[in-house]
Structure 1
Amino acid sequence: MSSEIANYIGYAASFFVVLSFILKDIKKIRFINLIGCVCFVIYGIFNNYLWPVIIPNGILCGIQVYHLFKKK
């Protein structure tokens, strides 16, 4: 993958994470933040395995999925 495409994925990730702070509905917040975190994981992988980016965002993906699908 070209570095230009990887950069666009990083910009998209940043956009989704910031957007998640603007929303008020918790399910929407978690879903949009999940998209941002997945994009950051992809960005980290395509930029020579940036572990400081991949690890926390991978953990956050798991947390968001857990909260989106847990029973109330």
Structure 2
Amino acid sequence: MSPEIASYCGYTASVFIVLSFVLKDIKKIRFVNMIGCILFVLYGIYSGMLWPIIIPNAILCFVQIYHLIKKEKVSS
């Protein structure tokens, strides 16, 4: 991936993370934040394996997935 595309991926990730702080519905917050985390992981990978970006965002992504699945099971 070109450095330009990786940068756009990082900027898009930032937009999703900021957007998640604006929303009020917890399910939407978690979903939008998860997308931002995935994009940050991709940004970290394609920018030269930036582990300080990849590791926390990967963990946060799994946390968001866990809570989204847990919330669906409780609702059912």
Normalised TM-score (structure 2): 0.93
Normalised TM-score (structure 1): 0.99
The residue that corresponds to 2:21 in the other structure is 21
Q: Secondary structure at the match of 1:41?
A: helix
* Counterparts of 1:46 and 1:54, CA distance in 2: 10
Structure 1 residue 27: Cα displacement: 0.1
What is the correspondence of 1:1-72 to structure 2 with a 5 Å cutoff? 1-70=1-70, 71-72=73-74
* Counterparts of 1:47 and 1:7, CA distance in 2: 8
Unmatched runs of 5 consecutive residues or more in structure 1: none
Structure 1 residue 52: Cα displacement: 0.1
* Counterparts of 2:48 and 2:23, CA distance in 1: 32
Number of equivalenced pairs: 72
CA-atom RMSD in angstroms: 0.4
Unmatched runs of 5 consecutive residues or more in structure 2: none
Give per-residue Cα distances to partners, 1:5-33, cap 9 Å, x unaligned.
00000000000000000000000000000
* Moved segments of 4+, more than 4 Å: none
